[in-house]
Structure 1
Amino acid sequence: MQTIKVLYGNVLSDLVSEDQLFEAADLNGIGITEVLVPGVTLSIPDQQPARLNDETLPKAVKQRTAQAVAGQTWIDLAMQEVGDESRLFELCDLNDASITEEVEAGRVIQAMRVEQDKQNIVNVLRPLKPSSMYYKVGDPAPEGIEYWAIELDFIVS
């Protein structure tokens, strides 16, 4: 028997194969159509065949990973990989991290499945590394009144 953490939007059929659906429901004392609470850990039966190809794995078992770069934050990764800042806590929980924790460059993070309506956001932000930067590292800092800070660059007398 294995355990798996429920993610936002998961249903029991996402977590186990169709032939194990009733067994998984019985193990957890739930119905096969019951709404699952994100963050809850469920017991699931062991996968039957030792060699499963990617097409036979349930959606929740297929791990998507990304590698953090210098200057990224957890909110940046949530937007870049999932396209939704409201899933920040879920992303941090999945990676055993705090939202205030610094993300080390090179850290491999696990990401959740992208919702259909957020795919366009992910397509735009994923190529930008990190997606929260408005200019590239090494480029001169942008200049102009919209970038100035009062009493630092812009002094009122």
Structure 2
Amino acid sequence: MIKVLPHTTMLDAALQDGSLEAVFGVAFANGKSITDELVVGETLQSSGLKFKPSVMAPIADPDKAQVSVMAGQTLLDLAVQELGSLEAVFGLGLLNSLPPTAELTTSQKIDFNINPFNKKVAQTFRNNSWKPASATTSAPAGQPPLPNLEGVDYWAIEVDFKVQ
């Protein structure tokens, strides 16, 4: 059984089921699409499929330490910063038992015993001390609140306005 928590996507549910590869099985077992919105508190059936996480085995590095999350950082930010690739977010999520969309807290420790997927990109981030922080749910401490962006440039059809 997979319990749906706030911000849980079908990919998150698949990871709870054991691996990213289970996403279609979990969706099918529950009569859903992989893009369906899930209801908080809903319980999903397991796919019944057993996959070994394919992401982790070839990339483990037991000597690599933890990284402390900075304000506004997401797992995607950390995947690029430390591992040089957006695709690394899935291995990073598996390693830390977090969904790729998890909201991280400042100073939270994230395990990084994974070798970089793209060593050149990871080294460039390290050499330049680049630390991306793309979360935009709130303004950083001491900053004015983020503006509500309005207008045609920011609206989505069937979300912000309906076409008749």
For normalisation by structure 2, the TM-score amounts to 0.44
Give the TM-score normalised by the residue count of structure 1.
0.45
Higher strand proportion (structure 1 or 2): 1
